Each structure stands twice: as C-alpha cells, then as structure tokens.
Amino acid sequence: MAKLWAGRAACETAQIADDFNASIRFDSRLIRQDIEGSIVHAMMLARQGILSQADCAAITAGLGGILDDLQSGALAVDMAAEDVHTFVEQTLTARIGEAGRRLHTARSRNDQVALDLRLWLREETATVRALLLALIEAVAEQAEAHKAAILPGYTHLQRAQPITFGHHLLAYANMLRRDVGRLDDAAKRMDVSPIGSCALAGTTYPVDRAWEAAQLGFSAACENSLDGVSDRDFCIELLAACATVMMHLSRFSEELILWSSWEFGFVTLDDAYTTGSSIMPQKKNSDMAELCRGKTGRVYGDLMALLTMLKGLPLAYNKDMQEDKEAVFDAFDTVCQCLGVFAPMVATMRVHPEAMYAAAQKGFLNATDVADYLTKRGMPFRDAYKLVGTLVADCIRQGQVLDTLPIETYKTYSALFGPDLYDEISLEACVAKRTSAGGTCVVSVDAQLASLRGWLEKNKR
C-alpha cells in the first residue's frame, strides 16, 4: 500500500525500516473505533459545508460497508498497510473513488489515533468494571454464607486475633470497590475528545469540535490542541488502576493458595479451577490463583513501559507514542482474563469452618481479651499487656492454653481475675465483643454487607 505521507521522500523506505515502523499488526485492533470516528468526522465536515453531502453519503456508506465486511469475514485487514488509518482510508478510496481522499480533511493521524484509543479504552474500561462487579458479588455471597465462621486473623503471618471469615472476605470486597472508583475517576478525565487538534496546532477549516465530540459520546473537546495529541495521561491512569486491581487479586490469590493447602485446609477450590501434577497423582494445584498472582508483574510492567516511554517526550506527538498501544492492550487483556476466572473460582470454592475454628483455638488469639478483661477492672492497659505477656510465656513453657488454665492459677498473677473470665475469652465472645463499626462481629459484618449490597445496586449499569 502507498504511504499516506508519500511525496516528501526521494526514495522508498527500506523494507526493514518499513517493518520496524509499521503498527498495523497491533493497531488493527482499533479498526471499528477508527471507522466509527471517521463516520462522525465526515458528518461534521458535511454539516460545516467543508464536504459535500454527496461525498459524505458516499464516505459513510463506504465505511459502513467496510465494517460490515470485516465483521462477516468478507474483508481481511491487509498487514502490508502501515497502520489501521492507512488501511481504512485506502480501502475506502478503492471502493468509492475520489471522495475517499477527502475524508482526512481537518484531521491528522495524530488526533485520529488519540481518539481511537480513547474510544477503545472507554469500552474496555466498562468491561473491566462489569467484571469487577461480578467478582464483588461472588465475594459478597461467600461472606454472607460464612459471616459467623471463626478463623484466625493474622498479622506478620502470625495468628493474632479471632475474626469471622465474612469479615475477612469483605476486606477484599472493599479493595475491589475502590478499584471500581479508580476506573470511574480515570474514565471521567478521559471523557474529552482530541479530534480536531490535527497534527498539533489545530486547523484552518471551520470545524465544530464540540458537535463532533458530542456525537462521539464525549462530554467536551480538549481545550489545547498540543495536549490533545500528546496526552496519554488517560492511559497511565487506567493502567495504574489495572495494576492496583492486579495487586488486589494477587493478595487474594496468595491467601487462596495458602488456605487451600493441606497445612491450612480452610477452603477447597473447585476442580474446575485447579490442575494436577504430571508425576504426583495426589496433587491438586491452585494454578488459576497462581497465574493471577504471576500475571500481576506483567501488568506492572505495562504501566512502567508507558511511564518510561513518556517521561522524556517533548510536545507534541512523537513516534515513541506508538508504543502505548501494545502495553495498553496487554494490560486490559490480562486484567479481563484474571477477573474472568477469579469470580467463578471464588463463587465455587468450598469453605471449611471446622478447620478454621480448630486453627483459631491455637496461638493464644484471646490474649488481647485477657488484657482487656483486666483493664476493664481498673488495671492500666500497659500493665495488663505486660502481665498477660508473662502469662502467655508461662503457658507455652507448661503446654497450657488460656481457655483452660485454672482460675486459681490466674489469681496467682492478679486478684482481679474471676470465674467470669472464661465467658469473656471464648472465641465466640472475642468475636461478638468486636462491635465497633467495621469490626468482625456478625452484626458489624451484616452492616458491611448491607452497605456493599446498596453500593452494588447503585453501580450496576
């Protein structure tokens, strides 16, 4: 195919340089957005009297035909084209003649690709958003079903205090809820149209950028033409949001991997979301969770690639910016794949409350409650903390636990201990007393679930 920029060069570009320069291999993914943007651009040109109504009709019909043929398989993208814009314009011109050459009036490939990418990201962001909502629903269902199941809560991966499984799961629901907010915020800032910025300085034609932006579903046109073609902040923001999604999935994956091990036995992942070993027939590997954990680094890399590519670029457009699309495409593909498998993996996992409870019975998880017992009876907390630390150390040496240590032994440490202590330090009591907003008791978990359900209802669209 001939180059859209042919005329200036004294000789043909070397084949190796052509191959190096071409982007059709990956930007052909934007072909529908490119055609839709071109149809609206032609309509704007005709509306402003820059293009005849006859040419506009020929162009819009021709572009519609190309899109139909691409979708039916009657037409294939020519990988010899330099980029998606070249392929569309030259295919259109071959079909409708001279009118096709007028389509590019009052625009550049610089603002055209910026538009295509925003249109593509707008759709893909909505897809990621919907997948996040599906995962939050799955987490909420499991949290509801197991809101009273007691397990150890950890800090430093050491057993710390008893909590409910519903409470633990809702921590992830809140992370994912913030991810939706980050996507929404980034999408709002992306909601401006760059078309009409042309190469960098705008155009001498009497275009109506506001009308064109509105027809394309944007709230406004960008206010500065240099910024319009050189801005990729929206890519950075959305990839940062994607990287944060992956970080949350990775943390969740790590816990699912631990919980489903023989050492924990808290959950069993469904066979549909695990694999086996080629040599050890007893193995059941949590490969889907492991892959989500592993692919997190890939999305981080996509974000870093964009940040590094943009950090030294002068205004306005530079060919370096061709590197944005592969990173963006890869990040969104990866996030969608991971979210797509994560929701059903969580929804189908079996929870083992008895194993969780057995684990919570070990590790002195009620030590803080013993200290609180003394504090409520007048002992300063710091003194109570030290006393209980000594008590725990003595129990470890003697092979005892706080729940069954005789009250007579307790009284050798402090006269404040009474027979009601045991009711205060049972696992059920330790959980039930955490009644502060956001805490682990069932009443609090119910309130968190109600808040989450209300938010989900508002955000399903």
Contact between residue 11 and residue 101 where contact means Cβ atoms under 8 Å apart = no
Show Cβ contacts of residue 409 under 8 Å, excluding neighbours closer than 6 positions. Answer: none
Homologous superfamily of the 15-102 domain (CATH): Fumarase/aspartase (N-terminal domain) (1.10.275.10)
pLDDT at residue 194, rounded to an integer: 98
Peptide bond into 210 cis (omega under 30): no
Only one residue has tokens 């929804």, namely 347
Judged by DSSP in three states, 350 sits in: strand
Q: What is 109-203+211-357's CATH number? A: 1.20.200.10
Q: Give the residues across from 161 on adjacent strands.
A: 153
Four-point Cα dihedral 405, 408, 414, 415, nearest 10: 140
Top-level class of domain 360-456? mainly alpha
What own/partner pairs with CB < 8 Å and gap ≥ 24 does 437-442 have? 439/167, 440/153, 440/162, 440/163, 440/164, 440/167, 441/164, 442/147, 442/148, 442/164, 442/166
Q: Which H or E run includes 152?
A: strand 150-155
Would you say residue 10 has pLDDT above 70? no
- In which band, very low, low, confident or very high, does the pLDDT at 278 lie, cut at 50, 70 and 90? confident
Query: Annotated catalytic residue: which of 52, 219, 261, 277?
Result: 277
Q: Structure pTM?
A: 0.93
For 336-355, the pLDDT digits (tens) are: 999 999 999 999 999 999 99
pLDDT at residue 259, rounded to an integer: 97
Q: Give the residues across from 164 on adjacent strands.
A: 150
102 DSSP 8-state letter: G
Common-topology check for domains 15-102 and 109-203+211-357: no
Show Cβ contacts of residue 93 under 8 Å, excluding neighbours closer than 6 positions. Answer: 100, 101
**Nearest partner of 227 among 188, 191, 201, judged by Cα:** 201
- In which band, very low, low, confident or very high, does the pLDDT at 18 lie, cut at 50, 70 and 90? confident
**Residue 248 catalytic?**
no
Query: Annotated catalytic residue: which of 72, 156, 278, 436?
Result: 156
The ranges assigned to domains in the chain are 15-102, 109-203+211-357, 360-456
For 284-316, the pLDDT digits (tens) are: 999 999 999 999 999 999 999 999 999 999 999
For 182-237, the pLDDT digits (tens) are: 999 999 999 999 999 999 999 999 999 999 999 999 999 999 999 999 999 999 99
Segment 369-392 shows an average pLDDT of: 96
**Nearest partner of 374 among 421, 409, 429, judged by Cα:** 421
**Residue 277 catalytic?**
yes
